[in-house]
Amino acid sequence: MQVPDGRQAIVARPDDSAVVAFDAARTHQGCPVKPEVAELTCPCRGSVFDALSGSGNKGPADRPLASIPVRVEGDQIVTA
């Protein structure tokens, strides 16, 4: 998903009524993370993030992914 300011976002649906999104670029070098089941991995340095919270599960990243406010509107996911 691309947000209005041009950033690429990773979107996850924890359940049918909730949606979360994170900036797809890693906080350290801007390398885009890749979804892998319930985790997001950085192919550049090997960091692993939780797909539902954006928090780091494995370093070297020391900060979570930046959260992007989103909501479900009808059958669309839109920025909040």
Give the model's pLDDT for residue 20: 94
Q: How far apart are CA 80 and CA 78, in angstroms?
A: 6
> For the structural domain made of 9-79, what CATH number should be given?
2.102.10.10
pLDDT (tens digit per residue) in 39-78:
999 998 899 999 999 999 998 888 899 999 999 888 888 8
Q: What is the pTM of this model?
A: 0.83
Q: What is the 3-state secondary structure (H, E, C) of 35-80?
A: EECCEEECCCCCCEEECCCCCEEECCCCCCCCEECEEEECCEEEEC
Any idea where the domains of the chain sit in the sequence?
A: 9-79
